[in-house]
Amino acid sequence: MRRVSQALVPADAASSLIPRMISEGIADRSAKISRDGAFRRVPIVPGRERDAEAMGFDIAEGEAYTMERRSPQERILEEFRDIPDAEAVLPMRWEFVGNIAILKLGGAPDALKRRIGETYAKILNVGTVCADSEGVSGELRRPDMEVLYGSSTRSSKSENGVIYEFDVAKAMYASGNTRERQRMKDLDCAGETVVDMFAGIGYFTLPLAKFAGPRRVFACEKNPDSYMFLLDNIKNNSVGDIVIPMLGDNRDIAGKRFADRILMGYVQTTSEFLPKAAEMIKPGGMIHYHDTFRVGCSGRRIKEIFDGACGPEGYSVERLREVKSFAPSVSHYVADVRIMRSD
């Protein structure tokens, strides 16, 4: 182990002094700062000891723990240096959900699964590593996760002041929809009655209920697993007096023209549910309609779909934006559509 000179910086002033030592080129950024009682030991660039003393610090000698400056990808490739073409075979991207890393195995051979789980857990510093085999599938968007390392697939994620608790093996979580979740938080829904027709674990319901000021949100979810997490999340985010959870098919929701706003956070078959939304929305109400379209066709497709459901004069599209790429040449879009008439 290399030995270096270290400045003994009082811990209570470290947050202002260490940045100054770094900006003046006195602190050695390639070595780790360590704790020593009421001091921080800050490694000094060789030859700058006098400058550190001039700042009023005592100098001591200590071991230089080198800072890990390699990326996790570089460290993974180093661990798998015996595998030919490792960069092409191994996952080089992943997603974190709390203490869980989720990756796609792609071309990695089955024989490597266990080793991948152990190595990635160590390098990414997580308790569980899961392989997302097929993405989500079916009407109820069930995930297909294989646990490569660890055991617990239940986790929680905090985003924009909302805590989402769920099991990554049982309920989907669309990380690409972050901006849309933020937008739900930023809406002004003061006094409104809102219906979330595809509530899941509360992706849109929770930020909207917690921050946008609605009077009540009916949150409908058909997948019993997701519904159980929705119940927990309503409780954990203290929105039980606003959100009314409903387990079942949204086409069975009773009532006409009672909703000021409807969230249709579903893709691919969303248009099948539009007649129900048109029945529930009040004249003047807003539908946030999600769907997937070929890139370049979204405006035309929205017009076709809403012409069919509300008549050409029965709505106006206030905003249309891409949420994320969905497949080659296909994107997920959301349209904010004001409904004038719903008969």
- Nearest distance from C-beta of residue 309 to ligand SAM, angstroms: 16
Residue 123 or 206: the one with the smaller Cβ distance to ligand SAM is 206
**Minimum CB distance to ligand SAM smaller for 105 or for 220:** 220
Q: Find the residue with minimal CB distance to ligand SAM.
A: 265
Task: Please identify, using beta-carbon distances, which residue of 177 and 193 lies nearer to ligand SAM.
Answer: 177
Site residues (CB under 6 A) for ligand SAM?
Answer: 139-141, 172, 174, 177, 198, 200, 203-204, 220-223, 226, 249-250, 265-266
User: Across-strand partners of 33?
Assistant: none
Closest to ligand SAM by CB, 53 or 249: 249
Cβ-based burial of 319 (10 A; exposed 0-12, middle 13-18, buried ≥19): exposed
**Alpha-carbon distances, residue 32 vs 2, 18, 41, 51, 312 (angstroms):** 12, 12, 9, 19, 66
Supply the minimum distance, in Å, between the C-beta of residue 221 and ligand SAM.
5
CB 203 to ligand SAM: min, Å? 4
Residue 63 Rama label (left phi>0; alpha psi -120 to 50; beta): beta
**CB 247 to ligand SAM: min, Å:** 9
Q: How far is the CB of 200 from ligand SAM (least distance, A)?
A: 4
**Closer Cβ to ligand SAM, 8 or 219, answer by number:** 219
First CA to last CA distance, the chain: 78
The widest CA-to-CA distance across the chain, in whole angstroms, is 83
Specify the residue for token string 């617990």: 152
Determine contact, residues 144/133, Cβ cutoff 8 Å: yes
In contact, 249 and 198? CB cutoff 8 Å: no
Given a contact cutoff of 8 angstroms between Cβ atoms, the answer to whether 206 and 162 are in contact is yes
Tokens of 302: 């929205």
CB of 289 to ligand SAM, least distance (A): 12
Considering the complex, state which of residue 198 and residue 333 has its C-beta at the smaller distance from ligand SAM. Answer: 198
* Choice between 78 and 322, CB closer to ligand SAM: 322
**CB 164 to ligand SAM: min, Å:** 10
Q: Give, in order, the Cα–Cα distances in Å from 286 to each of 46, 197, 202.
A: 65, 13, 19
